[in-house]
Structure 1
């Protein structure tokens, strides 16, 4: 019975790990094949839905595996550790669903969405869980190891600070630009010919035909004007914006002042996660449970990479659309958290069974 249960446990962890790796590879291929678009071309709906699907499944599975660890009395590193990490995974899953609904179904990309509240909880729960993991283990790091932690922390601060500062004016979101283009340039565009006509004729009487042009112009120029600039995104976004429910627009305006606070929150928590992940990696290095916590540390690093890239892209790349190649690291993060939880469960089960055998003997 012991051998069969051990083989089943071993098969189960192998199946989970292989499935997680396969999911990560599939996500990477999906991003590699379909993330590149022509300049000014909007990413298709199915691609954005696919990226959200890969992230959602990765974090949902990770939440379930962490929940399994929390329910097991055999977990050596502490059940509360996996409770908070699992809550973080589940909150990210909910936040991703809300963000996807906001972006795909409502057709808007606000500075702050309701999903951000769950993303905030994700970071809080992850930091608490990883701090509990560090606190449960006596840290006997050497001076050079503390030096590594300090160097990585400083580099993380410099990198996060560099990408958080926009170049010149703040870059507006992709879907907010068409609104400005419609409300501001729509009026001057018909007046531009009248201005030239006035300069040639030098009479105010020729300025009267311009209202007729302004009445007929929006019906014909509202859609072609973005195409003339080589960017078809504004026309599509304007139509989507027109179909956006009023409650969503009002909620967007209500939440938008929170953007500076959330930006600083994400920067600080990313740096904390980076430092804690480095400390975990060095603290558990070489032990029996080093393999699982290496996965957790790698998951935190992947989360940091994806967050930093997204912040860089939204601040430095004008007209950036979500779904870039490096956003696959969000999928990697969920996969690695799940692998770490599965390995921890397997190692803890084996450790308890061995200790039970020794007591029986």
Structure 2
């Protein structure tokens, strides 16, 4: 867990306190051991290749769609591959990149810690424009075809013109004195923009003007210490059927009415993973790597799997009737979406999986060694 906005004396005090609380008898929970299964999933590995050597400091995401697979490296390389694994193009921006990739309306977006945003043509990798915002960027930019929305670690959301990168507007949230080092990716839905903040709030913003329609707490800070009061919304909000779903660290998952900003339901959970919604049900991996399913309408718990506790699971993705999660040993686990039972397993590599993307009947897996593996379900 990376923490920012912390004074040095406070940091020293916290460190001494934490070290003083440790003892030789303290039990550290080990990752759950894998159990044997009779896999019902027939997977075909189409190809696998290294796409970066050093992981970025921010969100390292890939894009998989009908145009191909897009990835980036922290040393400035941006790549496009066909679904057969052949290179379409490669662009070297010759600068250290911090987060990406976002893709919208034929453009790709990558960022730097110095607040630089780069837009590339997704067909050929040519640079369309670059722009600089005030603050370091650790999350992926998003676009609705008119603006590109970027959140920086200083609590600002900046809108840039999609066509040329010119400044449009800026919104500043109130930052707590202590927060996680990371920010939520802005999400567009039905002509509105939704952004989660380090203060535990979710905001709905009118994209053309930057006017805030509402800003409501996903959770309420209850801790006695500054660390216990960390309630960042670092994951991507999910919008479906008039409901915005958001989750905070050390807080809650909340379902919020997008019109009024009223909370429909709220359940205690701590997570920085993205939420998945399917058929009005919500799926989430918490900070202990327990996989949980809720009714999206009522918040009632549908099922809960502790089978992969402490295995550093990725956020879940949906492939057919399965939830797929990756773990710290390079395994992919296929859980029945109805009951959470594991019905398939595949080892994509030997390193921790950090990102999964689904396109039709294919699954792309990216691990922290930079290996991208492309699988097809038969």
TM-score by length of 2: 0.22
- Structure possessing the higher relative contact order (Cα contacts under 8 Å, 6 or more residues apart): 1
Greater strand fraction, Structure 1 or Structure 2: 2
Q: State which structure, 1 or 2, has the greater radius of gyration over its C-alpha atoms.
A: 1
TM-score by length of 1: 0.23
